[in-house]
Chains A and B, each alone.
Chain A
Amino acid sequence: MMDQHKTVLHAQNIRKSYGSRGNVQQVLKGIDLRVLEGEFVGIMGASGAGKTTLLNVLATIDRTTEGSILIGDSDISKMKDRELSEFRRDKLGFIFQDYNLLDTLTVKENILLPVSLGKMKKRVAEDHFKSIADILGIKELADKYPHEISGGQKQRTSAARALINKPSMVFADEPTGALDSKSASSLLGTLEDVNKQRGVTIMMVTHDPVASSYCSRVVFLKDGNIYSELYRGDKTRQAFFQEILKVQGVLGGDSVDAL
Chain B
Amino acid sequence: MTLFDLVIRSMRKNIKHYYLYFFALIFSVVLYFVFATLQHDPAVVAQSGGSMGSAFTVAGILLLFIAGIFVVYANAIFLRRRSREIGLYQLIGLTKGSVSRLLIIENTLLSAGALAIGIGAGILVSRVFLLLLMKLIGFEGFIEVTFSVAAVVQTVIVFLGIIILTSIQMLVAVYRNTLLGLFNAEKTGEHPKKPKAFRSAFLAILGMALIAFGYWLSGRMLNALLFINMIAVLTTTILGTYLLFRVAISWLLYQIRKRKQGHLGLYNSLSLAPLMHRMKGNANSLTIITVLSAMTLTMLAGVYSLYYSTEKETRLVYPFDFTFDDFWYEDGQDASAKFVSELDKQNIEYTYSTIETLKVDGQFEEGSVSALLSDYFGASIISEEQLQQAGVDIEIPNSDTAYLYDAGIYWLLKTMEVPFDVKLSNTEKELQLEVAKVNEGNALNPSGGTQLVVKDAFYQELKELFLNDKSGSHITITNTINVPDRDQLADASAIFHRINEENDQFGYDYYSQYVFGMENYGLLIFISGFLGLVFLISTGSILYFKQMTEAEQEKSSYATLRQLGFTVQDIMRGIVRKQVFVFGLPLLIGLLHSIFAIKAASFIFMSDITLPASIAMGFYALIYLVFAFLTVGYYRKTVKAAL
Contact = CB atoms under 8 A, between A and B. Distances in A.
A125 B263 contact: yes
A23 interface: no
B576 to A, nearest CB: 15
Given A102-B273, A116-B269, A129 B262 contact: yes
Given A109-B264, A129-B262, A145-B191, A104 B563 contact: no
Contacts of B274: 104
A116 B273 contact: no
B189 A100 contact: no
Interface stretch (A44-52, A84-92, A209-217): A84-92
Interface string B177-215: 000000000000101000000000000000000000000
A106 interface: yes
Interface string A124-141: 011001000000000000
Given A104-B273, A109-B273, A116-B269, A89 B566 contact: yes
Contact of A106 (B262, B566, B570, B643): B262
B235 interface: no
Interface in A100-126: 100-106, 108-109, 111-114, 116-117, 122, 125-126
Contacts of A103: 189, 277, 557
A105 to B, nearest CB: 6
Contacts of B560: 96, 100-102
A61 B565 CA distance: 9
A129 B273 CA distance: 20
A82 B565 contact: no
Nearest to A100: B560
Q: Looking at chain B, what size class is its interface with the partner chain?
A: 20 to 34
A114 B263 CA distance: 11
A146 to B, nearest CB: 9
A100 B567 contact: no
A92 B565 contact: yes
B266 interface: yes
A147 interface: yes
Interface in B237-280: 261-266, 269, 273-274, 276-277
A85 B566 contact: yes
Contact of B263 (A90, A96, A126, A148): A126
Nearest to B569: A82
B562 interface: yes
Q: Of residues A61, A109, A122, A129, which shows the largest number of chain B Cβ atoms within 10 Å of its Cβ? A: A109
B262 A116 contact: no
A102 B273 CA distance: 10
A109 to B, nearest CB: 5
Nearest to A117: B266
Main secondary structure of the interface of A (DSSP, over half): helix
A117 to B, nearest CB: 5
Given A102-B273, A103-B189, A89 B265 contact: no
A60 to B, nearest CB: 8
A81 B277 CA distance: 32
A86 B565 contact: yes
Q: Of residues B264, B559, B570, which shows the largest number of chain A Cβ atoms within 10 Å of its Cβ? A: B264
A248 to B, nearest CB: 29
Contact of A61 (B262, B269, B643): B643
Contact of B562 (A85, A117, A143): A85
Nearest to B264: A109
B564 A117 contact: no
B556 interface: yes
Given A61-B643, A105-B269, A147-B191, A89 B263 contact: no
Contact of A85 (B189, B266, B556, B565): B565
A98 to B, nearest CB: 9
A220 interface: no
Contacts of A84: 565
A142 interface: yes
A5 B563 CA distance: 28
A40 interface: no
A113 to B, nearest CB: 6
A108 B563 contact: no
Contacts of A145: 191
Contact of A113 (B269, B276, B562): B269
A240 interface: no
Contact of B570 (A81, A92, A117): A117
B263 A116 contact: yes
Contacts of B276: 104
Contacts of B277: 103-104
A114 B264 contact: no
B269 A142 contact: no
Contacts of A96: 560, 563
Contacts of B264: 105, 109, 112-113, 116
Contacts of A108: 261-262
A92 B563 CA distance: 10
A116 B265 contact: yes
B565 A88 contact: yes
Contacts of A85: 562, 565-567, 570
Given A105-B264, A105-B269, A61 B564 contact: no
Contacts of A111: 262
A114 B262 contact: no
A104 B269 contact: yes
A112 B263 contact: yes
B400 to A, nearest CB: 75
A172 B621 CA distance: 48
Contacts of B265: 116-117
Given A109-B273, A113-B269, A100 B563 contact: yes
Contacts of A113: 264, 266, 269, 561, 564
Interface string A57-84: 0000100000000000000000001101
A86 B567 CA distance: 8
Interface string B147-176: 000000000000000000000000000000
B191 A116 contact: no
A65 to B, nearest CB: 18
Contact of B269 (A82, A102, A122, A161): A102
A114 B565 CA distance: 8
Nearest to A106: B262
Contacts of A81: 567
Nearest to A129: B262
A88 B557 contact: no
A192 to B, nearest CB: 24
Q: Of residues B274, B562, B566, B643, which shows the largest number of chain A Cβ atoms within 10 Å of its Cβ? A: B566
A102 B264 CA distance: 13
A112 B265 CA distance: 8
Contacts of B556: 100
A143 B194 CA distance: 11
Interface in B502-525: none
A147 B556 CA distance: 16
Interface of B: 189, 191, 261-266, 269, 273-274, 276-277, 556-557, 559-567, 570, 643
Given A84-B565, A145-B191, 7 more contacts: A86-B567, A96-B560, A102-B273, A109-B262, A116-B266, A148-B191, A161-B564
20 contacts: A81-B567, A82-B567, A85-B562, A89-B565, A96-B563, A100-B556, A102-B560, A102-B561, A103-B557, A104-B276, A105-B264, A109-B264, A112-B262, A112-B264, A116-B263, A117-B265, A126-B261, A126-B263, A129-B262, A142-B262
Nearest 10 interchain pairs by C-beta: A89-B565, A88-B565, A108-B262, A104-B273, A100-B560, A116-B265, A85-B567, A116-B266, A109-B264, A104-B277
Interface of A: 61, 81-82, 84-90, 92, 94, 96, 100-106, 108-109, 111-114, 116-117, 122, 125-126, 129, 142-143, 145, 147-148, 161
